A and B are shown apart, each in its own frame.
Chain A
């Protein structure tokens, strides 16, 4: 079939293959079809009876979505907070700042606890990464990265290394040496390479694998030693802003949240997207698993935090208040999962009762946005990092 010399009326991405090329514009059963000549021929050969145009596929997808909503709706027999009415009310909490970590010269963007429950690593906008013994306020290590906005940092499970990354589109791993004089920057090893900023990173259960999320819309699993990409995760249609590994010892899943307002659960082995949740009205800035691994919470720019259960496959709680109008940037659960700590762009940390859905406390203290909150591994303290250049330990 001689098709190369048709008069193209339009040029653009083909509805079928997505490549930009001269398009043939035809109509099939009142549906507009704008395919490049190759796809048009393929379709013609497959027979027009299959009638699978983009429009008809979209219709099918929409009707499936509706059906799914209906099916899930049938399981929504009661609200979590209603069931939780029989749970005892929490006593008044008295949480105060117990430590104030000063030392960063610019906004602190991220922090992570070490498994020894007292050390932590923090990274800031000026490229500095500091390892602290938060108990003694001692700064144990300091590295300066050549890039600014180090948005992600993580402590290795062994406590012997830290990973960090950000605007340099990379995530690098530094071994922590006991020798204070050793230049840590020299031992830096770039592990993850993305095509846009690295928004989050975490080690899996060992020092040998690193999981990263990026502004390029993907997450990726890397082998630290070789720097090889083990698995990549595609599915988000915008920046991925956060990720969290499932707490189970045998688990192989993680959840990610992004600017496409979706939270996706992934299988690390296959790279498949297992479940997806879309109920936020704006970017999801942070996702965190509930300690049992059966549910997770998210923080969003729509000023709400939400609680999703994986077994019911739906949102089961929303944490919001009329007076909370600024975006939530970070969340974490207390050890039992009863409390949800959320950091906001209004400089406060709200403490929510996960089951009852009410706010139990507000923590004032920071003088600028709270960028990250993390409960220590044994649940004894909460660390918050802020744009006011400090970190606070609350207990």
Chain B
């Protein structure tokens, strides 16, 4: 069970803000980076690497990190580990020591871990003044490794223009920072400088890189520090000019539940206790059988005939679905349940046709009318409801349906104040009736069976294979002015078919359409 890392970190475990979505991810990542750095507990070796004339302190190779992730997070595919590692880097927890772009590579590239001071979970929202101080500071320090990249130089220029009046102040702050830094140990400075740079790579990313500090606006309200009392990276006092964020509306403290709320809850719980529920084993069987029934219709699992339009760029599959003649596979679906039959407009039509042949179509027509009623705009509802009453339920109604007296009573009561749901009871009753009676007979009827077994009424040559509808591929016929038979024999796919093919429907042959042919038994 993925333990939300609420219990990690120790600090603020009872803090409600710990539940905020961003914090949950940060805590998980922090757990991972803490484990990676723990050499004794199977973490990676963090070493000082000798490079040319200098030493690179406290680094680890990308390959080591990828290996660790694969081993400890049960990842089989290195690509997945690299992807996860890159995200951890993009969020600022690890960084390449010689690149502004925060990704993980599965090779000897050297990485360093970010200092907890700079972790995103501290809710940094550094201001541009801080960024200006940082960039300014970098230009003051005469080290090759601290040179500004092009985009940083551009940023600095922009900030100089924006903060023209404050620049002296910023310059002073930068100088102060440089002084503080000089006092630190050389190796320590290397590490701190790189960590500081990585921090800014997260908050002021390279153009074109994802800014991982962007938040989903729906979750912003619950962030820690909603009133944005800004914390400066370099201790610059807030000059009070910062506007309160428009997104951070003052969060209302969650309302304490009142007596009414708890009473409602008690009523709800009592209703739930009275509910009859099914065992999981039964439910699982039901889910499995449903899935199994429909799996042949699922394009992601079973092949689509003739082809998936998105893959082959061929819309035949859609053309066939839209055609008036439903495929056998589609007709088969109607037998799954009355609901499935009614979902498909062709199924609905056929069922209606069948009922008409039995002179009992009023049930289905009533059901359809009530469905339609529910879809009407509000102002039409009352009149339409009356019309339905007149047509199906009133004394001497032209399409009188058979309702039990209880439902009849309820419905006529409902109609005193007609609404979209006035006929719910009646509709349910009629649906059950159709399901138990007419639907079963429909499935056995000729109308249905003919479609299911694809028997056509067009007279054909003898010795027909009835169950085999056969779809001809891209017909070359019309374009090349050849006969059907020639086209079929040319089409490589059907080379082996020597039988005579006869078009079922006498439709003009077009290159872009598929035609249904019945295969004759080979003589």
A contacts, CB < 8 Å to B:
13-18, 52, 54, 57-58, 60-61, 64-65, 67-68, 71-72, 75-80, 83-84, 87, 90, 93, 95, 98-99, 117-118, 135, 149, 151, 167, 197, 199, 204-209, 215, 223-226, 228, 230, 237-239, 241, 248-250, 252, 259, 269, 273, 275-276, 281-283, 290-292, 294-295, 301-304, 309, 311-314, 316, 318, 320-323, 325-327, 334-339, 345-348, 354-355, 362, 364, 367-368, 378-382, 387-388, 393, 395
Contact = CB atoms under 8 A, between A and B. Distances in A.
Interface string B403-444: 000000000000000000100100110010000000000000
A64 B274 CA distance: 12
A152 B121 CA distance: 29
Interface in B61-105: 69, 73-75, 77, 79-81, 83-84, 87
B308 interface: yes
A141 B286 CA distance: 43
A283 B219 contact: yes
Contacts of A311: 277-278, 283, 286
Contact of B278 (A52, A75, A334): A75
Nearest to B19: A282
Contact of A60 (B79, B222, B266, B339): B266
Contacts of A54: 258-259, 262
B28 interface: yes
B24 A327 contact: yes
Contacts of A294: 283, 286-287, 290
Given A197-B218, A334-B301, A321 B83 contact: no
A interface majority secondary structure: loop
A98 B21 contact: no
B273 interface: yes
Nearest to A368: B210
A68 B274 CA distance: 10
B280 A77 contact: yes
Interface in B167-189: none
B295 A282 contact: no
A345 B287 contact: no
B280 A79 contact: yes
Nearest to A125: B217
Contacts of B421: 252, 269
B265 interface: yes
A61 B300 contact: no
Interface stretch (B150-158, B314-322, B458-466, B514-522): B314-322
User: Interface size for chain B: under 10, 10 to 19, 20 to 34, or 35 or more residues?
Assistant: 35 or more
Given A57-B259, A72-B277, A323 B288 contact: no
A249 B259 CA distance: 39
B269 A65 contact: yes
B259 A215 contact: no
Contact of A302 (B2, B262, B263, B265): B2
A248 B339 contact: yes
A80 B262 CA distance: 34
Nearest to B271: A274
B74 A135 contact: no
18 contacts: A13-B256, A54-B258, A57-B266, A79-B280, A197-B218, A223-B378, A225-B378, A237-B255, A304-B2, A316-B280, A323-B75, A336-B295, A337-B294, A347-B83, A348-B83, A378-B321, A380-B299, A387-B214
B308 A380 contact: yes
Given A80-B287, A379-B297, A346 B83 contact: yes
A241 to B, nearest CB: 7
Contacts of B287: 80, 290, 292, 294-295, 309, 337, 354-355
Nearest to B367: A250
B279 interface: yes
Contact of A135 (B260, B295, B315): B315
Given A259-B222, A339-B301, A346-B87, 6 more contacts: A61-B262, A99-B310, A215-B218, A316-B280, A335-B300, A380-B309
A339 B300 contact: yes
B317 to A, nearest CB: 7
Contact of B301 (A52, A90, A313, A320): A90
Nearest to A260: B254
A208 B21 contact: no
A325 B91 CA distance: 13
B268 interface: yes
Contacts of A57: 259, 262-263, 266
Contacts of A248: 339
User: Which among B25, B273, B311 has the greatest number of chain A C-beta atoms within 10 A?
Assistant: B25
B311 A98 contact: yes
A282 B21 CA distance: 7
B248 interface: no
B79 A322 contact: no
A98 B321 CA distance: 21
Contacts of B268: 273, 276
A364 B21 contact: no
A312 B280 contact: yes
B275 interface: yes
Interface in B7-36: 19, 21, 24-25, 28-29, 32
A326 B25 contact: yes
Contacts of A380: 299, 304, 308-310, 317
Interface stretch (B195-203, B232-240, B369-377): B369-377
A367 B427 CA distance: 50
A283 B21 contact: yes
Contact of B284 (A67, A149, A316, A379): A316
Contacts of A282: 4, 19, 21, 24
Contacts of B269: 61, 64-65, 68
A8 B67 CA distance: 66
A173 B481 CA distance: 51
Nearest to A75: B279
